[in-house]
């Protein structure tokens, strides 16, 4: 099982895509979960639901949203599944915060109180460009574990930080210079020794092959002595950079041992430091250095085409970078084509027409089946399962650009299926692009593998994997204010209806007659009656007596009965109409 929480997107152009770290630690934004179960096939889905609920409670996340069949898929070969019992799901919009990091830290022996985990300062981590915490669980029942110890738990935290130095902003020919840094400037903390229950606690600094080559070029330009670049002992007399501490061991790659430009790994033992002598590793550049990481054979990206709320198209672009240092000709030694595995999951409300698949190589439309070695498609089913496409694409080794396009229609959702922020759009998870002919690994001497556990990680042969962008698809959304308007007018009608009914039923006839008489008496006072008599005499008319209410009680009772019958009839008709 592997679970990852990621904030930000890995920049393959700047941070590399061919080394073991980026291939295993670069994850898509949000939450990614895949698990392979050792249960009967008919119990896999139930086991997946139980797992999502357990992880959701442990890590304070919305992983339980992956329990529904519309949220996960069953890859056939993309993740090297065992007997088709693997399940894969992602939540691209899941927000990653300290609520998820704290349970992850609690799984460590000393939590974040001692050892290297003491560097995990929350503000320093979350203000970086990229942050991904990964949890990998392996059982030796599958035969893939690195030891026979039963179940192995591996935790990895990958961060990309910006040092708080002026050198970080320096530019040369449009490229950023390598900044000076220290642990205290990156995390705001120092290490005061190792965790007391840990077997070892080490810090490693890797100088990649490209960086070593660049350092050699800088040395030649600066006319510095040939000794003291990275060669093993003389770190104090280095003319290019300065380190605050000397490494306890220097390891060089075996494959490139005969070459001067082999990558180098520096090891620092944390157990040699304590509270009186904290460990604060730092590197200061004496000369400006610009270098770039090794890139994947092709840069993968994905985008949407079309406009409107009815239909559109998904395009996956593969582009060769001009600064690509990967030996792509290596694939031509084995064959004449480059094999690329593409895995893509599309939600059910994006109805993809897989027969519209088109392949473009260097801008020209190609025959689809001539460039597809293997393909597996599982069409989506409304409100049941998403659409899944797994494909092995064959491209010429000298390809510059390649693209895949798929047309789709946008579906309609029930009003209860819209999320609270429906107007923002709906996410299509990242596609997984793996280069099966290329493996990211480093080789070291066999006698060091047992002493340095990290060498086993770097030497493990892994396919070069890239994740594309998360797509945001706008769907047709209803006017969510209409239910409010209907509720308002309905409540108004019912208020008038019940108000009139209660007014009629609670009104008393005797009090109404007395109220009318008192009103008539108040209107005609002594002065008013005197003026009316004087006016009658002047006009020669008889004096009229004061008016009294002529409505008899029986007539009032009849009107009251008619009103009650009318209201009761309206209520009965209302109930019959809406039944």
Q: CA dist 450 to 152, 167, 444, 445, 453, Å?
A: 17, 38, 11, 10, 6
| SS3 (DSSP) at 164 | coil
Q: What integer pLDDT is reported at residue 310 of this predicted model?
A: 87
Note the pLDDT tens digit of each residue in 224-236.
555 545 544 455 5
- For residues 159-170, give the mean pLDDT: 66
Note the pLDDT tens digit of each residue in 404-422.
999 999 998 888 888 888 8
Q: What integer pLDDT is reported at residue 121 of this predicted model?
A: 87
Q: What integer pLDDT is reported at residue 216 of this predicted model?
A: 83
Looking at the predicted structure, is the pLDDT value of residue 5 above 90? Answer: yes
Q: What integer pLDDT is reported at residue 179 of this predicted model?
A: 86
Q: What integer pLDDT is reported at residue 178 of this predicted model?
A: 81
- pLDDT, greater one: 96 or 84: 96
Q: Are 328 and 215 in contact (CB under 8 A)?
A: no
CB atoms within 10 A of CB 579: 5
What is the percentage of the chain residues whose pLDDT exceeds 90? Answer: 37
- For residues 91-104, give the mean pLDDT: 92
- pLDDT, greater one: 345 or 210: 345
Burial of residue 367 (number of CB atoms within 10 Å: 0-12, 13-18, 19+): exposed
Looking at the predicted structure, is the pLDDT value of residue 128 above 80? Answer: yes
Note the pLDDT tens digit of each residue in 529-568.
677 677 767 666 666 555 554 445 555 566 667 777 887 7
Looking at the predicted structure, is the pLDDT value of residue 173 above 60? Answer: no
- pLDDT, greater one: 74 or 368: 74
Give the relative orientation of helices 44-59 and 98-106 as an angle to the nearest 10 degrees: 100
Q: CA dist 568 to 556, 563, 565, Å?
A: 19, 9, 5
Looking at the predicted structure, is the pLDDT value of residue 40 above 70? Answer: yes
Note the pLDDT tens digit of each residue in 132-158.
999 999 887 665 555 566 888 999 999
With bands split at pLDDT 50, 70 and 90, how would you rate the model's confidence at 280?
very high
Q: What integer pLDDT is reported at residue 428 of this predicted model?
A: 96
- CA–CA–CA angle 47, 49, 55 (5° rounding): 100
Q: Are 245 and 235 in contact (CB under 8 A)?
A: no
Tokens of 488: 């308002």
| SS3 (DSSP) at 403 | strand
Q: What is the length of the chain?
A: 579
Buried b (16+ CB within 10 A) or exposed e, 441-479: ebebeeebeeebeebebbbeeeebbbbbbbbebbbebee
Looking at the predicted structure, is the pLDDT value of residue 393 above 80? Answer: yes
Between CA 296 and CA 222 the distance in angstroms is: 32
- For residues 34-51, give the mean pLDDT: 93
Note the pLDDT tens digit of each residue in 376-388.
999 999 999 999 9
Tokens of 452: 């340095």
CB atoms within 10 A of CB 223: 7
Q: What integer pLDDT is reported at residue 483 of this predicted model?
A: 80
H-helix segments, 107-142: 122-126
Q: Are 423 and 327 in contact (CB under 8 A)?
A: no
Q: What integer pLDDT is reported at residue 147 of this predicted model?
A: 56
- CA–CA–CA angle 298, 301, 304 (5° rounding): 150
Q: What integer pLDDT is reported at residue 329 of this predicted model?
A: 41
Q: What integer pLDDT is reported at residue 224 of this predicted model?
A: 59
With bands split at pLDDT 50, 70 and 90, how would you rate the model's confidence at 13?
confident
Backbone angles phi, psi at 86, to 5 degrees: -95, 140
Q: Are 268 and 257 in contact (CB under 8 A)?
A: no
Of the candidates 294, 296, 293, 343, the residue with the CA atom closest to the CA atom of residue 464? 296
Between CA 161 and CA 314 the distance in angstroms is: 33
Q: What integer pLDDT is reported at residue 203 of this predicted model?
A: 92
Note the pLDDT tens digit of each residue in 435-467.
988 887 777 776 676 677 777 778 777 888 999
Mean pLDDT of the chain: 82
Question: What is the radius of gyration, based on Cα positions, of the chain?
Answer: 38
Helical (H) or strand (E) element with 100: helix 98-106
- pLDDT, greater one: 80 or 168: 80
With bands split at pLDDT 50, 70 and 90, how would you rate the model's confidence at 325?
very low
Give the relative orientation of helices 509-523 and 553-577 as an angle to the nearest 10 degrees: 120
Between CA 96 and CA 107 the distance in angstroms is: 18
Torsion angle of the four alpha carbons 219, 167, 236, 228, in this order, in degrees rounded to the nearest 10: -20
DSSP letter string, 147-187:
SSSSEEEEEEEEEE---SSGGGG-EETTEEPPPPEEHHHHH
Q: Give Cα 352 distance to the centre of its chain.
A: 22
Q: What integer pLDDT is reported at residue 330 of this predicted model?
A: 46
Q: What integer pLDDT is reported at residue 543 of this predicted model?
A: 60
């Amino acid at each position: 099982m592997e679970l990852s929480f990621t904030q930000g997107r890995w920049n393959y152009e700047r941070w590399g895509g061919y080394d073991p770290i980026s291939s295993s630690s670069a994850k898509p934004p949000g939450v990614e979960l895949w698990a392979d179960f050792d249960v009967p096939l008919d119990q896999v889905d139930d086991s997946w639901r139980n797992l999502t609920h357990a992880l959701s409670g442990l890590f304070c996340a919305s992983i339980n949203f992956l329990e529904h069949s519309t949220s996960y898929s069953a890859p056939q070969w993309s993740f090297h599944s065992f007997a088709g019992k693997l399940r894969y799901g992602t939540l691209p919009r899941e927000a990653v915060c300290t609520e998820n990091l704290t349970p992850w830290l609690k799984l460590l022996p000393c939590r974040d109180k001692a050892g290297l985990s003491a560097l995990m300062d929350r503000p320093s981590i979350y203000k970086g460009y990229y942050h991904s915490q990964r949890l990998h669980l392996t059982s030796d029942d599958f035969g893939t574990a690195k030891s026979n110890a039963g179940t192995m738990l591996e935790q990895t935290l990958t961060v990309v930080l910006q040092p708080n130095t002026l050198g970080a902003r320096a530019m040369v020919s449009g490229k950023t210079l390598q900044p000076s840094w220290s642990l205290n400037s990156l995390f705001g903390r120092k290490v005061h020794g190792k965790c007391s229950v840990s077997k070892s606690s080490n810090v490693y600094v890797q100088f990649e092959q490209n960086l070593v080559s660049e350092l050699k070029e800088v040395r030649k330009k600066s006319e510095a002595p040939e000794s003291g670049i990275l060669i093993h002992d003389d770190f104090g007399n280095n003319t290019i950079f300065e380190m605050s501490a000397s490494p306890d061991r220097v390891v060089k790659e075996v494959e490139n041992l005969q070459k001067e430009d082999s990558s180098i790994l520096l090891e620092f033992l944390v157990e040699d430091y304590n509270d009186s002598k904290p460990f604060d590793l730092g590197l200061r550049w004496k000369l400006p250095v610009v270098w770039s990481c090794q890139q994947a054979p092709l840069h993968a990206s994905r985008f949407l085409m079309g406009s409107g709320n009815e239909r559109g198209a998904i395009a996956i672009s593969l582009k060769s970078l001009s600064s690509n240092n990967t030996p792509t000709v290596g694939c031509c030694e084995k064959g004449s084509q480059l094999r690329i595995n593409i895995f893509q999951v599309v939600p059910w409300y994006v109805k993809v027409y897989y027969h519209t698949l088109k392949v473009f190589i260097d801008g020209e439309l190609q025959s689809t089946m001539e460039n597809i070695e293997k393909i597996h498609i599982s069409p989506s089913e409304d409100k049941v399962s998403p659409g899944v496409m797994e494909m092995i694409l064959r491209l010429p080794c000298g390809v510059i650009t390649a693209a895949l396009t798929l047309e789709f229609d946008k579906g309609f959702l029930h009003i209860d299926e819209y999320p609270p922020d429906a107007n923002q759009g709906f996410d299509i998870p990242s596609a997984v692009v793996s280069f099966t002919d290329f493996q990211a690994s480093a080789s070291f001497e066999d006698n060091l593998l047992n002493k340095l556990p990290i060498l086993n990680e770097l030497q493990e042969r892994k396919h070069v994997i890239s994740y594309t962008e998360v797509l945001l698809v706008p769907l047709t959304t209803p006017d969510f204010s209409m239910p409010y308007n209907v509720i308002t007018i309905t409540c108004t009608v019912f208020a008038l209806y019940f108000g009139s009914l209660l007014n009629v039923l609670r009104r008393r006839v005797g009090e109404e007659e007395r109220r009318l008489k008192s009103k008539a008496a108040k209107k005609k006072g002594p002065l008013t009656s005197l003026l009316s008599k004087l006016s009658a005499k002047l006009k020669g008319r008889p004096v009229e007596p004061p008016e009294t209410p002529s409505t008899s009680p029986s007539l009032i009772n009849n009107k009251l009965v008619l009103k009650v019958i009318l209201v009761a009839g309206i209520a009965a008709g209302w109930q019959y109409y809406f039944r």
